[in-house]
Amino acid sequence: MESGDYKDVPENANEHCPGTQSESAGKSDACKGCPNQEACATAPKGPDPDLVTIVERMATVKHKILVLSGKGGVGKSTFSAQLSYSLAAMDFQVGLLDIDICGPSIPKMLGLEGQEIHQSNLGWSPVYVESKLGVMSIGFMLPNPDEAVIWRGPRKNGLIKQFLKDVYWGELDFLVIDAPPGTSDEHISIVQFLQATGIDGAIVVTTPQQVSLIDVRKEVSFCKKVGLKVLGVVENMSGLCQPLSEFRFMRTTETGEQKDMTEWILSYMKEKAPEMLDVVAYTEIFDSSAGGAGRMCSEMGIPFLGKVPLDPQLCKAAEEGRSCFSDDKCRVSAPALKMIIDKLLAQQMISRIEDGA
Does the annotation list 40 as a binding residue? yes
71 is in an annotated binding site: yes
Percent over 90 (pLDDT), the chain? 72
Q: How deeply is 163 buried, as exposed, middle or buried, from its count of CB atoms within 10 A (0-12, 13-18, 19+)? A: buried
- 17 known member of a binding site: yes
- What average pLDDT does the segment 332-342 reach? 96
Q: Find out whether 139 is annotated in a ligand binding site.
A: no
Question: Residue 223, annotated ligand binder?
Answer: no
The answer to the question of whether 74 is labelled as a binding residue is yes
Task: Please count the other Cβ atoms lying within 10 Å of the Cβ belonging to residue 59.
Answer: 9
What mean pLDDT is reported for the chain? 90
Distance in angstroms (rounded) separating the CA atoms of residues 173 and 60: 8
Average pLDDT (225-252) is 94
Element (H, E) at 202: strand 201-206
pLDDT, residue 4, reads 39
Question: Tens digits of per-residue pLDDT, 267-323?
Answer: 999 999 999 988 999 999 998 888 999 999 999 999 999 999 999 999 999 999 999
102 annotated to a ligand binding site: no
Q: CA 264, CA 272: separation in Å to the nearest integer?
A: 12
CA 355 to each of CA 5, 139, 351, 352: distance values in angstroms, whole numbers, following the listed order: 26, 37, 6, 5
What are the phi and psi torsion angles at 118 (to 5°)? -115, 150
72 is in an annotated binding site: yes
Is residue 336 classed as helix, strand or coil in its secondary structure?
helix
Provide the 8-state DSSP code for 4.
G
pTM: 0.84
CATH 3.40.50.720 fits 50-237+291-355, yes or no: no
Q: Which residues contact residue 52 at a Cβ distance below 8 angstroms, ignoring those fewer than 6 apart?
A: none
75 known member of a binding site: yes
Q: Please give the pLDDT value at position 40.
A: 77
For 50, the enclosing helix (H) or strand (E) is: helix 50-58
Query: Domain limits of the chain?
Result: 12-46, 50-237+291-355, 241-283
What pLDDT shows up at residue 1? 37
